[in-house]
Amino acid sequence: MVKKVSFIVMKRLKGFKLKLSVSVWPVLFLSLLVTGPVSAALEDSPVLQDFNQLQHAGLLVLDAEQVPVYAKNAKQSFIPASTTKLITALLALQYWGEDYQFKTEFYLTYRGGEKFKTTVPTLLIKGFGDPFLVSEELALIAKQLAKQLKQQNIQKLSGIILDTSYYQGGGVRFSGAGHSDNPYDAVSSALAANFNTVYLQQTEQGIISAESQTPITPAALMLAEESNLFSETIKSMKGGKKRVNLGRDEALGQRYFAELLRAFLKQEGVAVSNDVAWQTLEKAFEPILLYQHRNQRTLAEVVTPMMKYSTNFIANQLALNLSREWLGAPANAERVAKVYQQRLVKLFDWQQFTIEEGAGLSRQNRLSPQQLIDVLEAFQPWRHLLPEIEPNVYAKSGTLLGVSTLAGYLYKEEQWFPFALMINQAVPFRYRNQLVRALAPK
């Protein structure tokens, strides 16, 4: 009979006193070698001794030759949280390549058909889910559009038509997504500016944009006023700032995109009426391609901030675009789950796993440390895209309530050691960083 033991772990990190109560069982190691720079760091580490007593946790560390150095519950399934983004990045990089640039197309058309061809044209924009249409990119687009329009002696546009049919209409809802105004809950869209968020500031004169490169628009003001964005407490604070998503109504975010582009076009001397409408390119009257824009950021330059800041919006956009490429229209949550199931079985011959979306928000997602190691081995060509979270540790973290994960590589003397840490119980803040520091080669 194995005797169950209880203990209390007390930690003080960055001025906060944290308490962890867990039940401890003797730990069976799947493998533990005592050679090499990684395993040498494991022998007497107090934080690893604490980890060994966690019930709902797994860890797998390989050496440079992919030989297990340490393993605990390596084949047990856990909630992976945002380490799921490693899979999303892998599938995207394998499919498109790291130099790929997402596109958006701009057309001229006439709303009234043939009899209105001599009047002011309308700008039709077809979105393809570019995840990184930030203000700086829209300003660049406006310059190129203005150049093309001036070559045709066009100084006015009668409005903007949006073709957002690349994604399923009505908004894509992913498992695990919340309804808060936090940026991490921003909805996906075939056309979106600034990750479907706005950054606003409360001043004595009223609400303004909190970033110089982004003009304030009617949609942003309406959002702030109707949702009582700034509480009385924040209103009383000079310079109060807040970044929020544009809500659950995808049409508001799309209108914001149109308004922001209109503001940049105005700066370039092109007048655009306030009218915004939705129509597919196929139903437009004789659309003429004016300009096809390729984002100045490559896929590698999109993945890097997604990994560093764990941007759910980027991950969801990539997942939807992958589903559209492999399964066709419509791009939606169901097809994303289907694509991940099909591709991961084909890549790794996995039998037991669940991935419902690409950002890691779903608590239904299940992976094992061994499966994350499989992903890391395939991700080797792009490991330089991961952030250095501790000296010589390049990894992607994941956090949900009661979930703390970390997967990546330990680096020592030009050798890379893949590791996957998965904890599905409450642990102190930055506990995983303490553990990985103990694992890191000195």
Q: pLDDT band for position 28 (50/70/90)?
A: very low
**41-45, 137-141, 345-349, 430-434, range with the lowest pLDDT:** 41-45
> Torsion-angle region of residue 369: left (phi > 0), alpha (psi -120 to 50) or beta?
alpha
pLDDT of residue 96: 98
> Torsion-angle region of residue 173: left (phi > 0), alpha (psi -120 to 50) or beta?
beta
* 62-105 tens-digit pLDDT: 988 888 988 999 999 999 999 999 999 999 999 999 999 999 99
- Mean of pLDDT values over 192-208: 93
According to DSSP, the β-strands at 57-62 and 393-400 are unpaired
Task: Using alpha carbons only, give the angle 45, 46, 50 rounded to the nearest 5 degrees.
Answer: 120
Q: Which of 66, 70, 57 is nearest to 29 (CA)?
A: 70
- Mean of pLDDT values over 282-300: 97
Mean pLDDT of the chain: 88
Write the DSSP string, 284-307. SSS-EEEEEEE-SS-HHHHHHHHH
**Can you tell me whether residue 393 is helix, strand or coil?**
strand
Q: Per-residue pLDDT for 217 more than 90?
A: yes
Task: Report which secondary-structure segment, H or E, holds 257.
Answer: helix 250-267
CATH 3.40.710.10 in the chain, residues? 5-96+301-439
Q: Which of 261, 260, 238, 35 is nearest to 141 (CA)?
A: 261
58 bridge partner residues: 422
Q: Which of 66, 44, 87, 93 is nearest to 415 (CA)?
A: 66
pLDDT of residue 42: 58
* 101-160 tens-digit pLDDT: 999 999 999 876 554 555 899 999 999 999 999 999 999 999 999 999 999 999 999 999
Q: Per-residue pLDDT for 41 more than 70?
A: no
pLDDT of residue 130: 98
**21-25, 207-211, 363-367, range with the lowest pLDDT:** 21-25
Fold of 5-96+301-439: Beta-lactamase (3.40.710)
In the chain, the percentage of residues whose pLDDT exceeds 90 is 75
The pTM assigned to this predicted structure is 0.89
pLDDT of residue 5: 28
